[in-house]
Chain A
Amino acid sequence: MTKEEAIEQGYLEAYLLGELDSEKMEALESLLSRDLGLRNTLNTLEADFEKMAMDNAIEPPAHIRENLKKAIEQPKVRLPYRPDLWAAASLALLFAITAFSLFLRWQSTQEELEILQQDNLFVRSELEEIRSKNLEQEVILERVASPEVVPVFLRGNQRLTSFKIVAYLDEASGQVWINTADIPSPPEGRSYQMWGDVDDHMVSMGVVKPEGDWQAMTYLPEASSLNVTLEPEGGSEEASVDQLLAQTIIP
């Protein structure tokens, strides 16, 4: 922008009115800072402009000044002190605090209730299991008490004298019931295994699990004796006769 452009194109007047875009305004301000003559022209223009405005001033109504004063001096909006309002506000606050406290308690109770419900479910499940086991044991006890069932007593030899077990031979159900509550635990990595001697051949009746419960073993109607050996963990296909712990002839 040149000085001539600023004058001829009316940029000085537009600048005065605030109508110049930012690009032209920057260019003109830069020119004004360098050209004292142009600055004086603008100063004169501004002075005339102000005189013209003063000539055409219109006295505004007095209340505008008062309104302006109120708008500037007005403090930030504060709630006026009114007892009824404050009482209502206090009650509202109290209500809000109480409601919040009740809400927290309700939430806490809800959580506790959920835990209790879970516990209850667990207990019920346990109870069902115990009931089921009891029922099962009742049935087994009833069964072993039957006169049709033949009890056979097995006692450990010199290898394991503490080994004692009673086998209930139930021909009708095809099962042999044993209660493992009193037998000692087998050595690490070994298992007790029960065998039936059928025609001088040892036939497996199953691995004895010392878990303190009734256990069903395979019934061998042709077996002449019951035998218990110590076998590798999980049992063997063939009986380790050198590891015989107990033997009883079936009557």
Chain B
Amino acid sequence: MKADTNDKALIIGVQQRDQKALYALYEKYSGALYGVIIRMCKDSGLAEELLQESFLKIWNKIDQYHPDKGRFYTWAYRIARNTTLNAMRKESLLIQSEDLSVYKDRKEEEEPWDVQRLNGQINSLEPHHRQAISLVYFQGFTHREAHEEMGVPLGTFKSYIRQALKQLREGYKITGCALLFMNHWLGL
């Protein structure tokens, strides 16, 4: 990832219509958002359009972002997620009037790689915890849809999410400590 930039200054810049500030936010967050969008829609062409659309919305709606209510990434993620879900709903309506087998063939040809492959700390989770997190955070499922997808009661599913987040927290804490130790040991 690129070097950390001061989000607050960049957001003020975007609010003042500074295009460079937007491009800096794009440099910092486009990969994370693109990772979410493409895992949700499973179509790289559509994902590219949706990423651009999401950043245009960020540019046009930046005044609606309030830093005291949460991090910039969380706000941008919601925009990207809603934009993608809306596009998928529209595409789903179109597919209903087309030959579904042709559509599936086309998608398989376009996306030969596994977009569902996850990286980082999430891979240290137990499979059912990993799946729960993946469904909700990377595939755009609501809790209700996700528990049906996994075939477990809603309460159990919520419990999976809580346990998964707790384990992730532990994992990031350890990684953070390890990085701190290494930096200290390397004299950085």
The interface of chain A, by Cβ under 8 A from chain B, is 7-10, 13-14, 16-19, 29, 42, 44-61, 63-65, 67-69, 71-73
Quick one: which of A19, A52, A65, A72 has the most chain B CB within 10 A? A52
> Which residues of the partner chain B approach A51 to less than 8 Å between Cβ atoms?
120-121, 172
Asked whether B1 lies within 8 Å of A57 as measured between CB atoms, the reply is yes
Asked whether B56 lies within 8 Å of A48 as measured between CB atoms, the reply is no
CB distance from A10 to the nearest CB of B (A): 5
Chain B residue with the shortest CB-CB distance to A58: B35
Asked whether A53 lies within 8 Å of B136 as measured between CB atoms, the reply is no
Asked whether B122 lies within 8 Å of A65 as measured between CB atoms, the reply is no
User: Mind listing 27 A-B residue pairs with CB under 8 Å?
Assistant: A10-B143, A10-B162, A14-B143, A17-B136, A19-B142, A49-B73, A49-B137, A52-B133, A52-B137, A53-B137, A54-B31, A55-B119, A55-B120, A55-B121, A56-B120, A57-B1, A57-B35, A58-B38, A60-B30, A60-B31, A60-B47, A60-B51, A61-B48, A65-B23, A68-B52, A68-B55, A72-B59
> Which residues of the partner chain B approach A49 to less than 8 Å between Cβ atoms?
73-74, 77, 137
CB distance from B124 to the nearest CB of A (A): 11
Closest 4 CB pairs of A and B: A55-B120, A57-B31, A18-B78, A53-B32
Across the interface, A64 reaches (CB within 8 A) one of B30, B77, B121, B161, namely B30
A130 to B172 alpha-carbon distance, docked (Å): 115
Chain B residue with the shortest CB-CB distance to A10: B158
CB distance from A61 to the nearest CB of B (A): 6
Q: Supply 7 further A-B pairs (C-beta < 8 A) apart from A53-B77, A58-B31, A67-B52.
A: A16-B74, A17-B78, A48-B172, A52-B133, A53-B137, A60-B51, A71-B56
Within 8 A of A (CB), among B59-92: 59, 69-71, 73-74, 77-78, 81-82
Tell me, yes or no, whether B165 is within 8 Å of chain A by CB: yes
Q: Given contacts A29-B69, A46-B70, A60-B48, is CB(A55)–CB(B122) below 8 Å?
A: yes
The interface of chain B, by Cβ under 8 A from chain A, is 1, 19, 22-23, 26, 30-36, 38-39, 47-48, 51-52, 55-56, 59, 69-71, 73-74, 77-78, 81-82, 118-122, 133, 136-138, 142-143, 158, 161-162, 165, 168-169, 172
A13 to B138 alpha-carbon distance, docked (Å): 13
Across the interface, B23 reaches (CB within 8 A) one of A48, A59, A69, namely A69
Asked whether B34 lies within 8 Å of A48 as measured between CB atoms, the reply is no
Asked whether B69 lies within 8 Å of A52 as measured between CB atoms, the reply is no
Across the interface, A57 reaches (CB within 8 A) one of B23, B32, B56, namely B32
Main secondary structure of the interface of A (DSSP, over half): helix
A68 to B77 alpha-carbon distance, docked (Å): 18
A50 to B7 alpha-carbon distance, docked (Å): 13
> Which residues of the partner chain B approach A64 to less than 8 Å between Cβ atoms?
30, 48, 51-52
Q: Given contacts A18-B78, A29-B69, is CB(A73)–CB(B19) below 8 Å?
A: yes
Across the interface, B161 reaches (CB within 8 A) one of A13, A29, A50, namely A13
Chain A residue with the shortest CB-CB distance to B44: A61
> Which residues of the partner chain B approach A73 to less than 8 Å between Cβ atoms?
19
Asked whether A18 lies within 8 Å of B81 as measured between CB atoms, the reply is yes
A61 to B48 alpha-carbon distance, docked (Å): 8
Quick one: which of A44, A47, A49, A51 has the most chain B CB within 10 A? A51
Q: Given contacts A46-B74, A65-B23, is CB(A60)–CB(B34) below 8 Å?
A: yes
Chain A residue with the shortest CB-CB distance to B31: A57
Chain B residue with the shortest CB-CB distance to A47: B71
Asked whether B73 lies within 8 Å of A50 as measured between CB atoms, the reply is yes
Asked whether A45 lies within 8 Å of B165 as measured between CB atoms, the reply is yes
> Which residues of the partner chain B approach A54 to less than 8 Å between Cβ atoms?
1, 31-32, 120
Chain B residue with the shortest CB-CB distance to A15: B70
CB distance from A92 to the nearest CB of B (A): 35
> Which residues of the partner chain B approach A55 to less than 8 Å between Cβ atoms?
118-122
CB distance from B41 to the nearest CB of A (A): 13
A181 to B36 alpha-carbon distance, docked (Å): 111
